[in-house]
Amino acid sequence: MINFNYETDFKLHSEEAISNWIVEAIRLENHKLEEINYVFCNDEYLHKLNVEFLNHDTLTDIISFDYSIGKIVQGDIFISIERVADNAKDFNVPFEEELHRVIIHGVLHYCGYKDKSDSEMALMRKKENHYLAFLTKN
């Protein structure tokens, strides 16, 4: 089950299509979905979580809390809409593309992908691009 929650003035255009896309990505990664809760929020909301739970006094676009066990995917993903909008401008991409990248990025972490080293980041980006292309085909 995928739940979308809103702590800011924002709403996904097509929750069902996004949900189906996420479920399919998880399936293609040979994992099984239990539950993911997405919380769309602002910088202030996410900054508080970053300080309180991760001891990071910085702004970020996403924080994920992974409760997955083995190949059973579950967790909470918090996304700052303000950060996504700023990143979209910085990377010169449409807001929705950057939002979808961040949405699938959290899922890929739950499927075991990391992004600490250059090689891990390269594989993560390749996987993000693969699933972004999959979304635009459907």
Q: What is the pLDDT of residues 121-132, one digit of tens each?
A: 999 999 999 999
Res 105 pLDDT > 60: yes
The response to whether 105 counts as a known ligand-binding position is: yes
Amino acid at 56: H
Q: Which CATH architecture has domain 2-137?
A: 3-Layer(aba) Sandwich (3.40)
Of 14, 15, 99, 60, nearest to 4 by C-alpha is: 15
> d(Cα 108, Cα 97) in Å, to the nearest integer?
16
Residue 61 marked as a ligand binder: no
What does the pLDDT read at residue 135?
A: 80
Contact 67, 33 (CB under 8 A): no
pLDDT tens digits for range 55-84: 788 788 898 999 999 999 999 999 999 999
Map out the domains of the chain as residue ranges.
2-137
pLDDT band at 137 (very low <50, low <70, confident <90, very high): low
Quote the pLDDT of residue 21: 95
Known binder of ligand: residue 13?
A: no
What pTM, to 2 d.p., does this model score?
0.90
